[in-house]
Structure formats: C-alpha cells, structure tokens
A and B are shown apart, each in its own frame.
Chain A
Amino acid sequence: MTTAAAMPHVGHGEHAPMGFWRKYIFSTDHKIIGIQFLFLSLFFLLVGGLLAMQMRWQLAYPGQPMPGGSILPESMAPGGILLPEYYIQLVTMHGTFMVFFAIMPLLVGVYANFLIPLKIGAHDMAFPRINMASFWTAFLAGGVMLASLFVPEGASRAGWTVYAPLSARPDLSGVLLGQQLWSVSITLLGLSSILGSVNYITTVINNRAPGMTWFRLPLSVWALFITAILGILALPVLSGAAIMLLFDQTIGTHFFDPPAGGQALLWQHLFWFFGHPEVYILILPAMGMVSDILANGSRKPIFGYHSMVFAIVGIGFLGWIVWGHHMFMSGMNPTLGSSFMISTMVIAVPSAIKVFNWMGTMWRGNLRFHVPMMHAVAFVAMFAIGGLSGIFMAATPVDMFIHDTYFIVAHLHYVLFGGSLFALFGAITYWYPKMFGRVMHPGWGKIHFWLTFLFYNMTFFPMHNIGMAGHMRRIYDPTVYEFLQPYQWTNKFITVSAFCLFSVQLIFFINFWWSLWRGKQPEQNPWHDNGLEWSLPNPAPHGNWERVPSVYRGPYEFSSPEVEEDYLPQNRKLPKDPEPPVLTGAVS
C-alpha cells in the first residue's frame, strides 16, 4: 500500500485544555468514546443479565412468586408471579439487549474505537466527529429500547428476531408501542453502526503509521477491519427491514402481512441476511483480541499469521451465504436448504483453522497465565464446543429435530458467552491499564475467572441435554408438556447455576470499580507486549503520539532470538532495520 492520502487531522499532541463536557461527554477522542461505549454496554450487559435471571426463575419454578418480584407492576407479575406476556418480553429483550446493546458495542464500539488508532499508530479516528455521533446515536437507541419496557403493554413480544407477522400485527401480539419502539431503536442502532464502520474502515486504510503494512497489522485490527466491512453492508439491511416493519405497524403498509399480499418469509430473509453476518460481527473481534492475548501469554509468535488473516477474510465472505440455515424449517424450498447447508458446513473450516492455529501458538510456548490469558484460553476451549455443536444444526436432517430447541440455546451461548464474553473479560483486563492507568486486581480477577468458568458450564452445558429431549425455546412453562417433566430437575439445576453465574459477576463489577481508584499503577508496558499502544503512557493522552512511531516488524515477535528480552516491540529499531517508507499522510 503506497498511496498517500493527505489527511488533515486534529491530533498533534498539543491540545488546549478542555472543559469537562468536551473532554468526557461530547468528546471526539477515540479513547474516551471507547470508554463511553464500555460503560454503556456494561450497563446493558447487566440489564440483559437481570432479565435472564427472571426467565430462569420462571422456567425452574413456574407459577411460583419470584423473590423480589412484588416490585414489578401488576401488568408484568401480579403478586410476583410472572405473566406469560411478560415472560416473552423477557425473552425478547434479553436477546435484544445482549446482542445489540451489550456484546456488539462491547466488541466493536469499545475495542474498534479504542484499539484501532492505538494499534496502527494514528492520532485518532479519520472522522472524530462522526465517531462522536456514532456513540450518541447508540446511546439514544439504547434509551429508546430501554424505555420500551416501561410503556403500556410493555416491550416487544416477538423474540429478538421479531418474526413477522407476529411483530407486524399488534392485534396478534398484543403490543403496539413497545414493538414500534423496538423498530425505531434498531433503526437508530443501525445508523450508529454505519457511522462507526465508515470510520474504522477509513482509519485502517488511511491512517496507518510508517511501516505498518497490511501483514504487520495485529490480528485484532484485521478482525475489527473485516467486522467493520460486515457492519457497513449488513446493518443497512437490518435498518431497512426495521423501517418496513415500522411502516407495517404505523402507516398501513403490508410488507409482511400475507392476507394483504405481503410475505411472512420476507422478514426472515431480510433479518437473517443481516443476522448471520451479525453472528460474525459478534465473534470476529473476539477472535482477533484473543489472538493478541494468546500470543502475548504464550510468549510466542502467533502460529500461521497469514492463515489466521485469510481465515478472518474467508469467514467474512462465507458469512454472507449461510443465512438460510436459520430457515431450514421455515417452509423455504428444501433445495435452497441444501445449498445453505453445504455453505454452512464449509464455514466450519476457517473456524477450525483458527482453533488449530491458536493451539499451535500455545505449543512449545512459555505460557504465562495472567488473567487475560486465562480468559483467552477459555475462549478457545469454549468456542470449540460452540463451533462443534453448530455442526449438528448445520446437518439439515438433525436440525429438523433440534431446531428451535434448547440445543440451539446452548450452542449460541457457547459462542456468545463462552466465546465473545470470555474474550471480553480478557480484553477488558488486558487493556484496562491503557484505558484507566491502573491495573485490575489479578487475584480477584483469577477468582472471578474460575467461578465464572465453572458456573458458566454448569448453566449452559445441560441445555444440550434438555435440547436433545426436544425442550422448545421461548416457552413460558415447560411443565405443560409430559415429555419434559422428567427434565424439570435439570431446569432447576440450570437456574441455580445461572443465579450463581450472575452473582459471581459482582466480583468483576467490584474489581472494575475498585481498580479505577485503587488499582496498582502499571509500568508503561505491563504485559511486555509488542503493540504500538504500549509505547504510550497509561492512559494515553488525547492525540496519542507527538510523532507517530515507525514500525519495523509484525506484532507477534515474542521470544525472538534477535534480542535478549522475550518480546520485541513493533516500533523498536534494531540496527539492521531500514527506515520504513511513509504509508499515509497522517503523520506529523
């Protein structure tokens, strides 16, 4: 890449002092925006978790008053007993909050913002004001979605996938305003993601430091770059579909209403055309950050760097042609099902390549089990389970049985919690010193890791078992079915485990806040890492570098025989290294 675009930019290290509002609230600093996304999405992670706890109570003890449930209004839980219409709101909003407002902004909003400029050696994002707009649009979207829980009739009742015509017809779902707010919020969130993606793509292409060639990019940046491309192509489809849905609900169009000439399956095609790339939006950044952490913890170069990049790109392409596997039982033409089945099988290959390369990275390493490393290894172990269980549902005849059962719920939580969330716990701990200039307490970090790992598996692994029994998703009371009654014990076990899993997150929460003020001051490069971000003080100043550093090598030169230490930062010049040519104009 030798094109040089002349980029005007704001970050020259010298900044006039700013007031509180400009510095922390309406900030254009990518690091502050990343931190804003962090607080926003951790809040929604908590909300999503609280909703899940209520669902678990109902599944284990159907019809019994929930402890503390009496604070809920009569329209949700009279006498603390959850109503069916409230239960399906919980189902819907748990999924909606976790996917759109917790995991997605945690991965992309936080780490694309925070890491891309720091890791490629840029002063800031290419479009800092668009970046600020992206956060505040997401904030507004979150507010609208949260508000929908409190309007008359409550929130959407159609599941996070809001299948039409249930979602399009208030007379059939029993909720009008809540469902409209869902559509409005998702449209706004789509806008936020589009604004963010434009920024991430442009920044990675244009603002890399001298010497930061494509194949010297850390895998986290590669993954975030491909994720941004997926985002800018997928989110407009979702927003478009959400607007069509809103029109069906408000101005009397009938896109999704069959009696009036609409099509029910149209919604599913639009939703999953977005929704499957979305699945990779929710895992690729986690894969990238885990690669960074795993190489660091193994003190070894990442095994097969180029394969890892091609696997990310391959997933990015294949992710577009698998959406129909969500619709095998939908009435879609079975021949079309066959082709989606094959493409789905094939997408397992790049995932397998990644798992084997992570193992190759650990092989003959010098494994240093700091807290982020523990989470990264757990990510590999749990993602492998989630990936393997995906093969069951990719096989169409087997899917005929396990589709829409708890087997699916187990699978998606192994990928989204065991995968993405473990990676996030690792990433939060890993880059915490860079964000806040403190280190999270490692002892409590390890306790939190082990308890989470234990209760996580106790919660989600038995879901495979009840899924194999045919336990349907999204049902309010499993005891209605005779064939599920022998499994009620399992449901109770899962619920108790889930309560424990939720409770031990308090350790993380306290550690996070306590460390903000009382955490140890880190040395400048606490993990002995090679990334450019560690050449800056903790926390890094607005504008990052006075002069952006030059880059002499890839990001994973651990245990290199060229130096005595077991790490070799990307910007450390050895006598043999030539000065790199300037790649972009964004250099002071």
Chain B
Amino acid sequence: MPWWLPVQASSYAPQIDGMFLAILIITGLAFFIVEGGLIWFIFKYRERPGRGGGRKAYYTHGNVKAEYVWTAFPAVVVVGLGLVSNHYWNEIKGRDSVPADAYPIKVHAKQFEWLFTYPGPDGQLGTDDDVAEVRNRLHVPLGRAIVLEQEAEDVIHSVFVPAFRLKQDAVPGMHIRSWFIATRLGEHELACAELCGMGHYKMRARVTVQPQAEFDAWLARAAQGEIE
C-alpha cells in the first residue's frame, strides 16, 4: 500500500506536493513537541505517593514571557505559510492565472456523467465544427495548457483529477474556468468530488494524456463519431 501522494502528472503537482511536504515537516515538528512533551510530563510529574509523600505541585499562575513566545512563534509560522500559500494559489487558481494560449475544453457535468466538448479545427468553442459531448472521456495533449470551461446542468459536481492535483466545483448557473498542463503520458481517473446524488460514486471519467499528434488523430476520429 502506497504511503505518499499519488503520481504527479501536472505542471503544478510538484508545487502542491512541495507545499504539502513543507507543512508536514512544520506540523510534524509541532506534533513531536506537543506529544513528546505530554508523554514526558505524564511520566515525570505523575503523582508518586511513595516518594516525598504529600508533595505539592509547583504553585504558579503562568509566565508572561512564555505566553509571548508561544503566541508570537505560531503566529509568524502560520502567517508565513499563508503568504507562501497565497503565492501558489494566485499562480494556480487566480482569475488571471489561465495561460493565454490555453486550449479550451468544455466540461458539462450532469447526474451522473461528464460530457466533454472539444473545439474543432478553428480552435474555438461554440462554433459549428466543435466535437460535441464526448461522454466520460477527457483526452488532452501532453505539455499544452488546457483550460476547462466548467458548467453543471443540475446540481453541484466537482472535477477532481488526483494525478493533476486538480479540483474545481462545477456549479449550476456559474461558468468556472480551471486549467492545468499535463506532464505525464498515460491514463488517469477523473472523479466527482462533490456529493451529487445516488450515482455520485460512479460519476467517473477516463483522462488520457497523449502526444499532440496522437491527440489530433483521436480528435479527428471523434469528430467522425468513430469512438464509443
């Protein structure tokens, strides 16, 4: 059984995983200080009736200096983490973070399937040559920025590709864009991450990352209706 995060298949997966690791180290340190301290105190200061019977605890109401230290230190750490998070957040999710030349794919989510619409030769969505409504199959070219134009027909769904570290809700009445650059050839799974009804668990699509030429060939076949 694997113990770490899944395979990294998008351009920003290493950044997100690096952030995860940094937080794991920081919180891990805090974890050992707190739990270690507790265990140490449990043994060291436990009541021992046999020895020095009737010993009283050390009578103190606290220490202002200690309060300053353990207020300021966590504050600096979490605000620092917040600033780093915000940097990556703006890079990945900011409204103007979508690369200008990104290839658009429309995602139409409904109970309980994903319909993907690809632009035709003109590279534009919403024109007559679109390859419309390919069911539960998302094909993307390797190394090219993709922007998903997300909509939902009925209830809230959420596009989740663990290998890309991508998650974005699709909300009825809203048009939401999310982007990624696939960096690893092969097949991945796309799941719905937001409870959308009784078929939620099987609302699944297959993601195929392929070289541009293969992708173009696949899209051409799809345009002819030659895929299932």
Contacts and interface: CB of A to CB of B under 8 A. Distances in A.
Q: Do A and B come from one complex?
A: yes
Contact of A367 (B5, B26, B46, B174): B46
A171 B188 CA distance: 32
B197 A559 contact: no
Nearest to B82: A345
B20 A482 contact: no
Of B171, B195, B201, chain A has the most CB atoms within 10 Å of the CB of B195
Contacts of A174: 197-198
Of A348, A388, A392, A400, chain B has the most CB atoms within 10 Å of the CB of A400
A304 B68 CA distance: 11
Contacts of B57: 298-300, 364-366, 558-559, 566
Nearest to A477: B201
Nearest to B16: A397
Given A330-B169, A377-B38, A474-B195, A352 B93 contact: no
Contact of B1 (A85, A490, A559): A490
Nearest to A311: B71
Interface in B162-217: 162-163, 165-174, 176, 188-189, 191-202, 204
Nearest to A167: B155
Interface in A286-314: 298-307
Contact of A364 (B3, B37, B58, B200): B58
Interface stretch (B72-80, B128-136, B141-149, B218-226): B72-80
Interface string A372-391: 00000100110011001101
Of B20, B56, B57, B158, chain A has the most CB atoms within 10 Å of the CB of B57
Contact of B111 (A172, A259, A335): A172
A262 B155 CA distance: 13
B124 interface: no
Nearest to B68: A307
- Label chain A's interface by main secondary structure: helix
Given A401-B165, A559-B56, A334 B197 contact: no
A475 B200 contact: yes
A489 B67 CA distance: 45
Interface in A151-169: 157-159, 163, 165-166, 169
B23 interface: yes
Contacts of B192: 472
Contacts of A403: 167, 193
Nearest to A466: B1
Query: Which range contains the number of B residues in contact with the other chain?
Result: 35 or more
A133 interface: no
Query: Which range contains the number of A residues in contact with the other chain?
Result: 35 or more
A162 B4 CA distance: 32
Nearest to A482: B189
Interface in A55-81: none
Interface in A343-378: 345-346, 348-349, 352-353, 355-357, 359-360, 362-369, 377
A481 B172 contact: no
Nearest to A362: B41
Contacts of B200: 84, 88, 474-476
Contact of B23 (A91, A391, A478, A561): A391
Contacts of A264: 156, 171-174
Interface string B19-49: 1100110110011001101100110011100
B167 A391 contact: no
Interface stretch (B84-92, B99-107, B113-121): B84-92
Contacts of B56: 299, 366, 559, 561, 566
A7 interface: no
A333 interface: yes
Given A84-B198, A352-B70, A392-B27, 15 more contacts: A84-B199, A88-B197, A91-B195, A258-B171, A264-B156, A301-B59, A337-B89, A338-B89, A366-B47, A367-B46, A369-B47, A381-B35, A401-B165, A472-B160, A483-B188
21 contacts: A258-B173, A264-B174, A298-B45, A303-B62, A306-B62, A334-B89, A338-B89, A352-B70, A381-B34, A381-B38, A392-B23, A394-B81, A395-B23, A396-B89, A397-B12, A400-B166, A401-B20, A470-B160, A470-B162, A475-B191, A487-B1
